Amino acid sequence: MSLNKKTALVLGATGLIGKELVNIISEKEEYEKIHLLVRRPIELPSEICEVHLVNFDELPKYHELFKVNDVFCCLGTTIKKARSKEAFRKVDYEYPVEAAKLAKENGAETFLIVTAMGADSKSVFFYNRVKGQVEETLNKLNLPSLHIFRPSLLLGEREEFRFGEKLAERVSGVMNKLMIGPLRPYRGIQARKVAAAMAFIAQSNKKGNNVYHSHQIDSIVGSSEWKKV
Ligand SMILES: NC(=O)c1ccc[n+]([C@@H]2O[C@H](COP(=O)([O-])OP(=O)(O)OC[C@H]3O[C@@H](n4cnc5c(N)ncnc54)[C@H](OP(=O)(O)O)[C@@H]3O)[C@@H](O)[C@H]2O)c1
């Protein structure tokens, strides 16, 4: 690693946020190498990226790859895609927690993760509960610098068609304009904005456990600092 440049590792690089994130950080001069952990072959997004085809059930086998400055976790699934609550929990809880432990053991300085608005370990809703549980476990790991991003509905072009989300996105296009004042936090947010906020916060040197709600994510990239991202 050269003196001033950083290295990163991205989990979930093929997803809506993950792809945007890789595009953004591979153009940032802060990074000299970005490791992408994926479960299926992909095209190399940039020359500074290195793609690793891995079995996520065996993450500790790839511990050497976690010797980076910043670890970004954009993993996630839906119960429909995962086909069971157990399989969902694996992707949204077990893999991120394992990744965070490996990041800590290998001296990564920053761990950044996307959870979701409404994350609550006591929620009656399974999705929100798992998101809350992953946050709770990560908060207890004493990571040097933990950043949790809780977006509302994600807007952007997906490869796969998700009827419910597409419908919500259409409605959100109209509703966002009406969502002002106390309703502002519920506005849909562009996946690229979330990715940009993650990229920006990774350069902030902020320590400890930090949470960013959807409207705060929106403000991070809406500020003048955004020009630096
Ligand atoms: N959708 C929303 O409106 C919304 C709102 C708030 C928060 N979130 C959360 O934001 C995060 C990112 O969302 P997104 O929409 O960008 O996600 P996404 O497009 O569904 O991408 C998810 C990523 O996780 C990977 N993944 C899924 N199952 C896996 C498995 N079994 N093993 C290894 N990798 C697996 C995917 O890989 P493949 O490409 O190989 O499948 C992909 O890279 C998620 O945690 C999501 O819950 C979503």
Is 127 catalytic? The answer is yes
Q: Which domain holds residue 24?
A: 6-161+189-223
Q: Which of 95, 131, 193, 212 is catalytic?
A: 131
> What local confidence, expressed as pLDDT, does residue 224 receive?
47
> Tens-of-pLDDT digits for all 229 residues of the chain?
556 899 999 999 999 999 999 999 999 899 999 999 999 999 998 999 999 999 999 999 999 999 999 999 999 999 999 999 999 999 999 999 999 999 999 999 999 999 999 999 999 999 999 999 999 999 999 999 999 999 999 999 877 666 766 666 666 666 666 677 776 777 799 999 999 999 999 999 899 999 999 999 999 987 645 555 4
Instruction: Say if 135 falls within a structural domain.
Output: yes
Instruction: Say if 199 falls within a structural domain.
Output: yes
Is 131 catalytic? The answer is yes
> What local confidence, expressed as pLDDT, does residue 223 receive?
61
Q: Which of 33, 67, 127, 186 is catalytic?
A: 127
Q: Does the beta carbon of 228 sit less than 6 angstroms from any atom of ligand 1?
A: no
> What local confidence, expressed as pLDDT, does residue 174 receive?
63
**Ligand 1 center to residue 4 CA distance, Å?**
31
Domain containing residue 63: CATH number: 3.40.50.720
Instruction: Say if 47 falls within a structural domain.
Output: yes
Instruction: Say if 18 falls within a structural domain.
Output: yes
Q: Does the beta carbon of 165 sit less than 6 angstroms from any atom of ligand 1?
A: yes
Atom 6 of ligand 1: nearest residue by CA position = 116
Instruction: Say if 182 falls within a structural domain.
Output: no
Instruction: Say if 228 falls within a structural domain.
Output: no
**Ligand 1 center to residue 2 CA distance, Å?**
32
Please give the tally of structural domains in the chain: 1
Instruction: Say if 72 falls within a structural domain.
Output: yes
Instruction: Say if 166 falls within a structural domain.
Output: no
> What local confidence, expressed as pLDDT, does residue 157 receive?
84
Best probe residue, ligand 1, of 10, 17, 193 (max atoms within 8 Å of C-beta): 17
What number does the ligand 1 atom closest to the CA of 40 have? Answer: 40
Q: Residue 120's closest CA among 130, 110, 112, 111?
A: 130
The whole-angstrom separation of Cα 83 and Cα 123 is 21
Q: Does the beta carbon of 37 sit less than 6 angstroms from any atom of ligand 1?
A: no
